[in-house]
Structure 1
Amino acid sequence: MTANDVCPEPSGAHRAPAETPTRSRAADRAAVRAFRPHRRIPAIVVALLLTLLGLLVAIETISGLVGRPLRWIPYDGLLAWAASTLWSNPLFLLGSAIVTLLGLALLVTALVPGRPNMVPVRSGDPDLIIGLRPKSVTRALAHAAEEVPGVRSARATMRGHTVAVTPVAHGPDGFGEEVRGAVLARLAGLDLVEPYRVDVKERT
C-alpha cells in the first residue's frame, strides 16, 4: 500500500472522474429549476378565489337538488340582464375590458419571472445544487470594479440578466472598458449558470 492509496489527492476528493457535456447541461438545468422564483402570492390569491367560487356553485347546486335553493346568486336577474343587453352596451364592454385586463395581468404575472432569491452556480453534477445570494454576487462584482486603478468606489446591481456597475472615479479619465473587463473576469470566476450582460455607467 502506497502513500497515495492511504491519502488521495485533495484535488480529486470532491470531483467526479469526468464531466460529460450532457451531465453538465443537466446540472445547469437542475440548478436553474431549483432557484426559479415562485409566484406564491398571486397563486394563493387565485386559488382562494377559485375555491370560494367552487364552494358557492356547489352550495347553490346542492340546495337546488334538495328542493331548497338558496339563490345567493341572482340567476333570474342575470339572465334577464343578459337577454336584454346588447353586445355594444357600454356597461358590457367595460366589464369585458376589466375581465380581460385581469386575465392578462395574471398571465403576465405567471410568465414573467420574479426576482430570484439565489443565483445558480455551475457545479457539473445534477445532484449538487449550488447558489449564491444576489447581494453576494453584486458585492463581489463591485469589489472587482474597485480594484481597477482610478476607481474610488463602485456599486453593482442585478436586474434580470444585466449587471449594472456604477464606478466612481478619482479623476475625469474614462475607465469604463477596464471596469467592464474586471467585472466580466470576476463573473467568469464565479462560474454562474446563466449569462449576464455588464452595463457600466461612470461617475466622477
Structure 2
Amino acid sequence: MTTHETRRDVVQEPPSGAHRLPAPPQHSRAADRAAVRAFRPSRRVPAVVVATLLALLSLLVLAETISALAGRPLRLIPYDRMLAWAGSTLWSDPRVLVGAAVTTLLGLVLLAIALVPGRPRMVPVRSGDPDLIIGLRPRSVTRALAHAAEQVPGVRSARATLRGHTFAVTPTTCRRDVEGFGQDVRGAVLTRLAALDLVEPYRVSVNVREQR
C-alpha cells in the first residue's frame, strides 16, 4: 500500500502591526501632467491689469454709446476732435509713428509676459496617482542638492540655485584637481536628484570654486 503525501507551501503572514516597505511610485503620464498643471506658475498680476483696463474701456464705450442714443452724449471721450485729427494727419506724421511704436512695444511686452513661464513656486514630484499631487519648494530641493554636494570628500561648503530648468551647484574646495573633483560632485548631485524623482527633467551644472 502506497501513501501519497501532498506538500503545500505555507505562506507566513507578517505579524499584526508589522511595517511593510512602501511600493515605489509608478510612472504615470496622467499623474505627471496633473502635477505639472497644478504647480504651473500663473501670470495673475498682468492678467488682472489687462482685464481691468479692458473692462474700464468697455464701460466707457458703453456709456458713450447709450448716452448718444438717448440724445445726451457724455462726451467723456473727445471723439469729434480725435476723428478730425485723424482725418487731417498723415501716416508719416512723427506723432503717429511714435504712437504706433509705443502700442506695438506694449503689445510685445504683454505677449512676452504671457508666453515666458514665471518662477515656479513648487517643483512637482512623481506620485503615480493623478489625484495625489506632491510638490517641493525650490529652496528645499536646492538645499538637498547642496547637502549632497557637501558629502563629497574635499567639499568645504556648497550652494545650489535653480535657474529655469538648471540646478547650478557651486562647491568650495581646497583641492587642486578641480576637473575630476567637479565630476564627483556632479555625480553626487545627480544621484540625489534622481532619488527625489522630479516630474520634469532638470540639468545640473557644477562650478567649482577654489578656496585659498
Same fold (TM over 0.5): yes
How much is the aligned-residue C-alpha RMSD, in angstroms?
1.9
Over alpha carbons, which structure has the higher Rg?
2
Residue equivalent to 1:84: 88
Shift in Å, 1:124? 1.1
Residue equivalent to 1:55: 59
Q: Kindly report structure 1 stretches of 4+ aligned residues shifted beyond 4 Å.
A: 2-9
Query: What does the per-residue CA deviation read over 1:75-104, in whole Å, with 9 as the maximum and x for residues that have no partner?
Result: 111111111111111110110010111111
Q: Using structure 1 for the length normalisation, give the TM-score.
A: 0.91
Shift in Å, 1:11? 3.3
Q: Using structure 2 for the length normalisation, give the TM-score.
A: 0.87
Give me the identity figure in percent.
70
Structure 2 distance, partners of 1:25, 1:131, is 16
Query: What does the per-residue CA deviation read over 1:1-57, in whole Å, with 9 as the maximum and x for residues that have no partner?
Result: x84596686335x778xx5x6xx0111010000000111111111111011101111
Residue equivalent to 1:156: 160
Shift in Å, 1:180? 0.9
Residue equivalent to 1:190: 196
Structure with bigger helix share is 1
Count the aligned residue pairs: 197
Q: How does 1:109-188 map to 2 (within 5 A)?
A: 109-174=113-178, 175-188=181-194
Amino acid at match of 2:54: L
Residue equivalent to 2:107: 103
Q: How does 1:15-26 map to 2 (within 5 A)?
A: 19=26, 24-26=28-30
Shift in Å, 1:154? 0.3
Out of 25, 33, 38, the residue aligned to residue 42 of structure 2 is: 38
Amino acid at match of 2:183: E
Shift in Å, 1:170? 2.4
Structure 1 distance, partners of 2:198, 2:107, is 35
Amino acid at match of 2:135: G
Unaligned runs of 5+ in 1: none
